[in-house]
Amino acid sequence: MTEYAKPLPDVADPNMAPYWEAAKRHELRMQRCGSCDYVRFPPARHCPECLEENDDWVALSGRGTVWSFGVYHHLFNRAFADDIPYNVALVQLEEGPRLVTNIVGVANEAIEMGMPVEVAFDDVTDEVTLVKFRPRG
Amino acid sequence: MGVTELSKLRDQVAIVGVGTTRQGTISGKDGNEIAVDAFKLALDDAGLEKEDIDGLLTCRSFGDLGVDTQIAPLIGLNPLYSATLDYGTCNFSLHFAAMLIAGGFAHTVACMYGTNQRSNRNFFAGASAADYALAHGLFNIAGPASMALRRHMHEYGTTEEQMSAIALTERAHARLNPIAVMRDELTKDDYLNSRYIVEPLHLFDMCLITDGGACVILTSAERARDMKQPPVHIMGMAENTSLRNFQNDDQLMRPFIQTVRDQVYPAAGVGREDVDVLFIQDPTSVWVLQMLEWYGFCEVGEGGSFIQDGRIGLGGELPLNTNGGQLSESYMWGWLHIPEAVRQLRGQAGPRQVEGAEIAQYCSTMAFSKAASTIMRRD
């Protein structure tokens, strides 16, 4: 197996760690504020709405829609050479936050704006699982 | 808050000097040295000695350069006030300079930027996002810009053919500008047949990374009266931010710019119909599309049709980026639009001169997170 050469997130980042640990278990979890119910991303100690610190890492539905996407034809990073052209999308989650992600399981040409998608976990290394999305029936 | 206070600054401050270096590849000099070159040119343009400058605003540049504490010793000045802004476009620096002058912190302020990122091969591969986004391959501002454009196309039916008007118009202008880096003729076929960088953004929707320097000198309207050049008066300024980033709905569409629109025209005491020549910062053509709409030059969604038929070209109803913009003149983080606006309002733009130009406007953003606009008039 060839080594994974693409940029990896810092899964040890104290704020992000619970997100990545959940992803490794194939769960999409984000912080929901215990005081005002606001679901925040990226993770942070304080709720940006009410500034309280109490939060629960709740499981999200994993459902969303494609807000928009771009298809990379220009190679900015050599590790993506075999993927060109590849998509990067912004997915609007049912619970509110928006995620930069990739749409998998569908050709770039078949991705549609507003397309319903569901989370698809990609175990890219032993330590890191990326949160991607695939079309939802 | 807002318009009433902002209008107090109307005509209080003027631009009295501009300097722009050669653009493209400047080997053997670092960004700070290029900024010093621009400073010398601006002093000469203004007819000032360096000792006349008592306010210094620098702009951070590639390679941890562009800091006030680095540049002041290079120009041998201990200004009364200095600061470094972390972002470009000149607009934010210009507003800061106006506040310093109006507030009495300094009398005459030099704003400057210099970079050698082309010769040092800075490709902005990772400049647009945190590592989370990089893991998914979101490199360069072209990524979010492509998503914004696709969304615009989806909502309003904007087409790639319509978008070509921006790149083609700016190239035609650059061909009249001796310091422009991109001066070869560009046709609609060239545009449509060019490769995608990030689809739907074509190669010619993107600016070219360049070396270069720019400096703008401002002082009070009163001091500006007897200087070498006719002053260019700052009529109105406004800003707004969208710093919560993706916590905001529709962050990539930048609706927060509407607040700048609602403030800048009343602050200046003129309307958009009074603008003779318009400048929009354009690291990608999407910025032009969005800002034409949010500033109300056309309805939201109608930018694609608005830019057709020569409307934004020299001789058109609303000449745009007569310097060639970042797409064709030089990247420079948007620092060359203000110098061109000043030259237009002084009647010094040569073959690019907009006949009888009295009022110019410059609109810019810091990525998707800050917006600024300035309305200027000739003396």
Residue B125: per-residue pLDDT: 57
For residue B2, what pLDDT band results from cuts at 50, 70 and 90? low
The CA distance from B144 to the nearest CA of chain A, in Å, is 8
Question: Does residue B126 carry a pLDDT above 70?
Answer: no
Residue A2: per-residue pLDDT: 64
> The complex's ipTM?
0.95
Residue A100: per-residue pLDDT: 96
Percent of chain B beyond pLDDT 90?
Answer: 91
How many CB atoms neighbour CB B176 within 10 A?
17
Residue B285: per-residue pLDDT: 98
Measured between alpha carbons, how far apart are the two ends of chain A, in Å?
A: 33
Q: Which two tokens stand for residue B244?
A: 């919560």
- B199 → closest Cβ in A7, A71, A80: A71
The CA distance from B368 to the nearest CA of chain A, in Å, is 15
Residue B261: per-residue pLDDT: 97
- Those residues with Cβ within 8 angstroms of residue B233's Cβ, 6 or more apart along the chain or in another chain: B11, B13, B14, B221, B224, B376, B377, B378, B379
Show the low-confidence residues of chain A (pLDDT under 70).
Answer: 1-2
- DSSP β-ladder status, A116-123 and B232-241: unpaired
Question: Does residue B129 carry a pLDDT above 70?
Answer: no
- A73 → closest Cβ in B125, B136, B197: B197
Residue B128: per-residue pLDDT: 36
Question: Does residue B220 carry a pLDDT above 90?
Answer: yes
A97 contacts in chain B (CB < 8 Å) = 246-247
A130 contacts in chain B (CB < 8 Å) = 135-136
For residue B123, what pLDDT band results from cuts at 50, 70 and 90? low
The CA distance from A73 to the nearest CA of chain B, in Å, is 5
Tell me if residue B373 falls in helix, strand or coil: strand
For residue B124, what pLDDT band results from cuts at 50, 70 and 90? low
Question: Does residue B127 carry a pLDDT above 50?
Answer: no
Residue B120: per-residue pLDDT: 80
Digit-coded pLDDT (tens) for B81-121:
999 999 999 999 999 999 999 999 999 999 999 999 888 87
Percent of chain B beyond pLDDT 70?
Answer: 97
Q: Please give the angle made by the CA atoms of B147, B149 and B155, to the nearest 5 degrees.
A: 100
Digit-coded pLDDT (tens) for B329-348:
999 999 999 999 999 999 99
- CA nearest to B123 within chain A: A76
Digit-coded pLDDT (tens) for B5-57:
999 999 999 999 999 999 999 888 999 999 999 999 999 999 999 999 999 99
Euclidean distance between CA atoms A76 and A78, whole angstroms = 7
Does A71 contact B137 at a Cβ distance shorter than 8 Å?
no
Does B201 contact A70 at a Cβ distance shorter than 8 Å?
yes
B257-268 helix and B285-294 helix, angle to the nearest 10 degrees: 60
Instruction: Among A15, A90, A127, pick the best mutation site for testing chain B contact (most B Cβ within 10 A).
Output: A90
Question: Does residue B352 carry a pLDDT above 60?
Answer: yes
What are the helix (H) ranges across chain B?
Answer: 3-7, 31-46, 68-75, 91-103, 131-135, 142-156, 160-174, 188-193, 221-224, 257-268, 285-294, 303-306, 325-328, 337-346
Residue B55: per-residue pLDDT: 98
Of B128-132, B242-246, B300-304, the least confident = B128-132
DSSP B125: S
Query: pTM to 2 decimals?
Result: 0.96
Of residues A137 and B376, more confidence is placed in: B376
- B135 → closest Cβ in A41, A42, A130: A130
Average pLDDT, chain B: 95
> Is B198:A76 a contact under the CB 8 Å cutoff?
no
Instruction: Among A100, A128, A129, A133, pick the best mutation site for testing chain B contact (most B Cβ within 10 A).
Output: A100
B137 contacts in chain A (CB < 8 Å) = 6, 72, 77, 80, 83, 86, 88, 102
